[in-house]
Structures are given as C-alpha cells and as structure tokens.
Homo-oligomer: A and B are copies of this chain.
Amino acid sequence: MGRLRHKLLRPLLARLLMEVTPMAHEQFKSCIDACVRCAEECAHCGEACLSEADVSMMAECIRLDRDCAHICWTAAAFMSRGSRFAADICRVCAEVCDACGDECAKHEQDHCQKCAEVCHACADECRRMADVAA
C-alpha cells in the first residue's frame, strides 16, 4: 500500500517539481546541462582513445565512453520532456558515469583526466536529481 502510494505519487511530484517550483526547474536544467557536457566529453575522449598509439590499452575506456555518452544523451532527453522516469534513468546514468570516470582516471592522457572529472561531476548531479525527484 505504501509502495503503491509511492508509485502513484512519485511521478506526480516529479512533474510538479519541474513545473511549479523554479528551484526544481533549475535543478533539472543543471542536470541536463551536466549530462550534455558529459556526453560531449565522453564522445571526444572515446574518439581520442581510438587515435592513441596503443589502442588496446584504451579498450575499456572506449567501451565506457560509448556507454556513458549514450546514457547521458538518453537522460537529457527524458529530463527535457519532463518524463516521470527521468529519476530512474538518472540513477542508472550516475552509475555509468562513475564507472567511466573511474576508468578514465587511470589513464594519464589529458582527454582521459578531463573526462574523469566531467563524469564524476555528472554522476553527482544525476544522484542529486534522482534524490530530489524520488
């Protein structure tokens, strides 16, 4: 029963949050921006990894950059249309961002170090968003 009420109220509140309170809209906006920024950085990093002398060493980075960019664009799309599932997507997005950031942090290339920073920042934004809307 508590779970049912939770299930019915959550999307309603998320919608209200976005439409009614300016602060909440700001929260969405800030998370969309973080996701777009992260998607761009991962795309750039993945491309740069493919041009490294030793690509084999970067294979896991390339995989995670690809997944991370994909889920970030998806999260941005769900948030931008105020979907009731935005928080669920952001929760997964935070996990992917952290995994990608952790992998990137292991490589000393500039594009990886930069990407690690942006990924971790995006993970934080996504978690905040998911908590506010949950």
Chain A residues in the interface with B (C-beta under 8 A)? 32, 36, 39-40, 43-44, 46-47, 50-51, 53-56, 58-59, 62-63, 66-67, 69-71, 73-74, 76-78, 80-85, 88-89, 92, 95-96, 99
Across the interface, which residues of B come within 8 angstroms of A43, CB to CB? 77, 80-82
Across the interface, which residues of B come within 8 angstroms of A51, CB to CB? 59
A63 to B69, CA, bound (A): 14
Across the interface, which residues of B come within 8 angstroms of A50, CB to CB? 59, 62-63
> What is the count of identical protomers in the complex?
4
Across the interface, which residues of B come within 8 angstroms of A70, CB to CB? 74, 77-78
Q: Are B47 and A55 in contact (CB under 8 A)?
A: no
Tell me, rounded to whole Å, the shortest Cβ–Cβ distance linking A4 to chain B.
12
Tell me, rounded to whole Å, the shortest Cβ–Cβ distance linking A90 to chain B.
10
If A85-B92, A92-B92 are given as contacts, then 17 extra A-B residue pairs at C-beta distance below 8 Å, sorted by A number, are A32-B40, A36-B36, A36-B76, A39-B77, A43-B81, A47-B63, A47-B82, A50-B62, A50-B63, A55-B58, A62-B62, A66-B66, A67-B83, A67-B85, A70-B78, A85-B95, A88-B95
